[in-house]
């Protein structure tokens, strides 16, 4: 289990201040783009940071947290179950781990192959319709797109996106909610903007192709979330600017 480390009052105060600064930056970026601040949700990326840090940020009003490592995430969920948080799985998910995540995360951001999608569907079919977590009849997911066409990076190839989306919506217990991307590592700030714009265009094309609305674009991290908001992000995944550098 991920336990609680000792955090000083000064450390807690600095963490809270960084969180509120990020919230202010999100609001400013949204207004600058002519959008309502409420149209952008912050996913506070807490991976590798202790449960106590999550509790501090939750105490400041944050509800949605993102994790990338299954066992770490499940441990934090157990530790912090009393807080009623919403958890998103944002990392690369192996097909064999599908059994560990279904029904435990409000949104899985990184579905990028049909084997994983089918495993999620099969595991969902094994769950009871209701539990203490509420309705478990569907698992909300995003399709991760390899927006930079990088051979070493996860994500559905752009040319395969339409057919993959068609396959996903045939799985009755998965609910497609949008697209996610990570621009090339060296493209930060304004250099990431063309990739974010491209993902927005792809979402619009997929919506027309499928004849259904997709409410979410998950894009933008600490180094470029303002640019992502300008291009239509509805979910920004911010870790370092809130929690600080990851522990070694």
Q: Quick one: CATH architecture of 9-241?
A: Alpha-Beta Barrel (3.20)
How confident is the prediction for the chain on average, in pLDDT?
Answer: 93
Stretch among 31-40, 91-100, 168-177 having the lowest mean pLDDT: 91-100
User: Which of 134, 142, 83, 152 is closest to 112 using CA atoms?
Assistant: 142
- pLDDT for position 75: 97
In this model, does residue 186 exceed pLDDT 90?
no
Is the distance from CB of 139 to CB of 108 less than 8 angstroms?
yes
Residue 179: is its pLDDT beyond 80? yes
pLDDT band at 131 (very low <50, low <70, confident <90, very high): very low
Which H or E run contains 179?
A: strand 174-181
Using CA atoms, how far apart are residues 53 and 239, in angstroms rounded to an integer?
A: 11
Name residues whose C-beta falls within 8 Å of residue 171's C-beta, 6 or more positions apart in sequence.
117, 118, 120, 121
Q: How far apart are the first and last CA of the chain?
A: 19
| 15: CB partners within 8 A, 6+ apart | 7, 53, 56, 57, 242, 243, 244
Among 83, 31, 33, 41, which Cα is nearest to 177's?
41
User: Residue 121 has what pLDDT?
Assistant: 96
More confident call, 248 vs 9: 9
What does the pLDDT average to over 79-97?
95
- Any idea which residue has 């969180």 for tokens? 19
Residue 228: what pLDDT?
98
Is the per-residue pLDDT at 125 higher than 70? yes
pLDDT in tens, 35-78: 999 999 999 999 999 999 999 999 999 999 999 999 999 999 99
Report domain extents, the chain.
Answer: 9-241
What's the confidence (pLDDT) of residue 136? 62
Under the banding of pLDDT at 50, 70 and 90, the label for residue 5 is low
**Predicted pLDDT of residue 132:** 40
pLDDT at 7: 83
The stretch 207-212 carries a mean pLDDT of: 98
Q: Which residue do the tokens 């600095």 mark? A: 14
Query: Residue 134 has which token pair?
Result: 């509420």
Determine the pLDDT at residue 22. 98
pLDDT of residue 127: 84
Band (pLDDT 50/70/90 cuts) for residue 133 is: very low
């Amino acid at each position: 289990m991920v336990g609680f480390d000792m955090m000083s009052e000064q450390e807690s105060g600095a963490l809270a201040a960084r969180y509120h600064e990020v919230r202010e930056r999100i609001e400013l970026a949204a207004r600058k783009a002519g959008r309502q601040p409420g149209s952008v949700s912050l996913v506070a990326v807490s991976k590798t940071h202790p449960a106590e840090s999550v509790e501090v940020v939750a105490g400041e009003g944050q509800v949605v947290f993102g994790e990338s490592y299954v066992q770490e995430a499940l441990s934090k969920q157990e530790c912090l179950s009393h807080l009623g948080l919403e958890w998103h799985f944002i990392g690369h998910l192996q097909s064999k781990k599908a059994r560990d995540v279904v029904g435990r995360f409000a949104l899985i951001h990184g579905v990028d192959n049909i084997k994983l999608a089918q495993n999620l569907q099969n595991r969902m079919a094994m769950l009871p319709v209701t539990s203490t977590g509420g309705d478990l009849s569907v698992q909300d997911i995003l399709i991760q797109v390899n927006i930079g066409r990088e051979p070493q990076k996860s994500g559905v190839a752009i040319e395969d996106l339409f057919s993959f989306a068609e396959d996903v919506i045939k799985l009755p217990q998965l609910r497609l909610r949008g697209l996610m991307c990570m621009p090339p590592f060296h493209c930060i700030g304004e250099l990431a903007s063309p990739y974010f714009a491209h993902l927005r265009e792809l979402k619009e094309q997929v919506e027309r192709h499928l004849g259904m609305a997709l409410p979410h674009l998950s894009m933008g991290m600490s180094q470029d979330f303002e640019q992502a908001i300008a291009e239509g992000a509805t979910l920004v995944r911010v870790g370092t600017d809130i929690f600080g550098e990851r522990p070694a």
